[in-house]
């Protein structure tokens, strides 16, 4: 098995692209990028050097993933999401030595047009709503909306809002998975 790249894609030398990955129209993969197996990169996606994408990462149209971004397995990045890598950019001042790492943990979703300020971690299975602006790290399973992004609840691994009962447990109606809320953090217990 190999990867698929549309004939309009530019792939620089010394990239690693996993089997089963699909890269669509007008995208650019830069030297040193590492892309896992079974990823899907939409139209007009740029993956800069030293970016690491795990397996089964989905990046929708018009997203630039800059150096310093690491996506673990099963991450979804919606259309036109903005990922940054410098806190205080200036055109006339080179700050390449100041790139901040942004870690997007396994199973996280980032909705369309959201902005992720660099240097933060998006926790496992967190859900960033469309248009949200994330200015600080996000807990696993957290639902973040708005500008600036604030937490408005918790999400299941299947992407459904969790409603906790008086015992601080919630059940995902689609999967039947059970979650526990303790000390302002959520974990799946079955």
CATH number of the domain enclosing 33: 2.160.10.10
Residue 129 lies in a domain: yes
Whole-prediction pTM: 0.97
Which residue range is the domain that position 37 belongs to? 4-89+99-161
Q: Give which of 125, 111, 48, 107 is closest to 79, Cα–Cα.
A: 111
The answer to whether position 168 is within a domain reads: no
Q: Provide the pLDDT for residue 43.
A: 98
Confidence of residue 101 (pLDDT cuts 50, 70, 90): very high
Give me the pLDDT at residue 130, please: 98
The answer to whether residue 172 is domain-embedded is no
Pairing label, strands 76-77, 58-59 = parallel
Question: Is residue 107 within 8 Å of 74, Cβ to Cβ?
Answer: yes
pLDDT, position 86 = 95
Q: What 3-state DSSP class applies to 13?
A: coil
Q: How many domains does the chain have?
A: 1
Query: Strand, helix or coil at 91?
Result: coil
Q: Does residue 85 fall inside a structural domain?
A: yes
Per the structure block, which two tokens stand in for 59? Answer: 């990046």
pLDDT at 1 (0 to 100):
76
């Amino acid at each position: 098995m190999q990867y698929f790249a549309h004939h309009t894609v530019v792939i620089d030398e010394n990239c690693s692209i996993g089997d089963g990955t699909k890269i669509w129209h007008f995208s650019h993969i830069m030297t040193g990028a590492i892309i896992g197996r079974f990823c899907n990169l939409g139209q007009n996606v740029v993956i800069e050097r030293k970016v690491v994408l795990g397996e089964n990462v989905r990046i929708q149209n018009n997203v630039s993933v800059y150096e310093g971004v690491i996506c673990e397995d099963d991450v979804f990045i919606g259309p036109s999401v903005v990922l940054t890598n410098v806190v205080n950019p200036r055109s006339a001042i080179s700050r390449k030595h100041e790139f901040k790492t942004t870690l997007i943990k396994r199973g996280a979703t980032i909705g369309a047009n959201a902005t992720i300020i660099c240097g933060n971690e998006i926790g496992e299975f967190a859900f960033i709503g469309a248009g949200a602006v994330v200015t600080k790290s996000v807990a696993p399973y957290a639902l973040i909306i708005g500008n600036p992004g604030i937490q408005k609840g918790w999400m299941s691994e299947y992407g459904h809002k969790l409603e906790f009962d008086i015992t601080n447990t919630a059940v995902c109606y689609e999967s039947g998975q059970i979650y526990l809320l303790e000390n302002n953090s959520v974990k799946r217990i079955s």
